Amino acid sequence: MTDSIEAQRPSSQVLPHELPAALRDAGLVNWIREPLDDAVDRRRRIIVPPAAAVMGTPASAYQGALMAEARHPDTVFMMGDNPALPTMPERPVLKDFFQLRLSKMGASHLMQSAKVAVGRGLDEKVIMACLLHDIAIAGLLSANHGYWGAQMVAPYVDEEVAWAIEKHEALRYFPDESVGYTYPEAYIDYFGPDYDPPEYIHREAAAARQHRWYMTSRLVTINDIYSFDRDAVVDFGEFEDVVGRNFRQPKEGLGFDGSPVAHMWRTMIWPNNFL
Ligand SMILES: [Fe+2]
Ligand SMILES: [Fe+2]
């Protein structure tokens, strides 16, 4: 019995009896890493989940308890490389984020969407927008993902690509039968049949529809793959040429070029930093 429990326990988990009851009861044991050989001075390291991730959930009540744990002399907050994540190169490029940071499902969704756009012979700007449209969901934050994603990539892509990524957030809720876009079936499952997006989304979509780049963003929603195919095999290599022509990789690496969005890329490199 003990053996099977031992076998199931993730290596990153500290023994439950070492933690205060409040943290054990809240199921937060996985936020604390045991002293690993590769950890700083073999000390325990605590990951405090970001406010945006726990707000409105029971876990928000335990941030104080997690922080109190860090006062123990054998414990520090997670800062720098988390050994649970693959190490990023010193000067990371877009491909590194796809392969080493973005969620598997997220990266696959982006590449599947871009692949459909390639198959339809669409413009490279559209392919690029498809490849990046949900990058925020896959690596940073889901709420307002079109806006976060557009900002993240704006310094490196054509203005039209960033615009299309931002506006897909609103446009995906509104059918445009003239180009064959209907309300996604998946959204009926996700949000219920009676979901009506907030007023600002209605306004954003109406304004986007009048814009000269409307069709670029609309094509992102048309090529958006709502049925996630977990078995689809798509390799980033298929898009290397398009990325090479349409994404200006900074020579210092994404996260270190001093751009107004460098901190967003650094947040994906070290997502568990306390500060
Ligand atoms: Fe999206
Ligand atoms: Fe999408």
Q: What is the pLDDT of residue 2?
A: 36
Beta strands in the chain (DSSP E): 32-33, 44-46, 75-77
CA of 134 to the centre of ligand 1 (A): 5
- The three-point CA angle 124-173-230 to 5° equals 65
CA of 68 to the centre of ligand 2 (A): 39
Nearest bound ligand to the CA of residue 169: 1
CA of 40 to the centre of ligand 1 (A): 38
Q: What is the pLDDT of residue 173?
A: 97
Provide φ and ψ at 167, rounded to 5°: -75, -20
Q: What is the total residue count of the chain?
A: 275
Q: What is the pLDDT of residue 30?
A: 66
Q: What is the pLDDT of residue 10?
A: 40
Residues near 95 by beta carbon (within 8 Å), at least 6 away in sequence: 236, 240, 243
Nearest bound ligand to the CA of residue 171: 1
The answer, as to whether pTM is greater than 0.95, is no
Here the contacts of 111-115 (C-beta below 8 Å, separation 24 or greater) are 111/234, 111/235, 111/236, 111/238, 111/239, 112/225, 112/229, 112/232, 112/234, 113/220, 113/223, 113/224, 113/225, 114/223, 114/239, 114/242, 115/234, 115/238
Q: What is the pLDDT of residue 45?
A: 84
**Do residues 101 and 265 lie in contact, with contact meaning Cβ atoms separated by under 8 Å?**
no
- Tell me the residues surrounding ligand 1 (ion) with CB < 5 Å: 134
Cα–Cα distance measured from residue 168 to residue 104, given in angstroms and rounded to the nearest whole number:
22
Nearest bound ligand to the CA of residue 108: 2
Q: Which residues of the chain have pLDDT under 70?
A: 1-18, 26-27, 29-30, 33-42, 226-230
CA of 127 to the centre of ligand 2 (A): 13
- Burial string for 179-204 (b: 16+ CB within 10 Å, else e) reads eebeebeeeeeeeeeeeebeeebeeb
CA of 3 to the centre of ligand 1 (A): 44
Q: What is the pLDDT of residue 228?
A: 61
Nearest bound ligand to the CA of residue 149: 1
User: How many Cβ atoms are within 10 Å of 58's Cβ, its own excluded?
Assistant: 11
Nearest bound ligand to the CA of residue 110: 2
CA of 242 to the centre of ligand 1 (A): 21
CA of 136 to the centre of ligand 1 (A): 9
CA of 6 to the centre of ligand 1 (A): 40
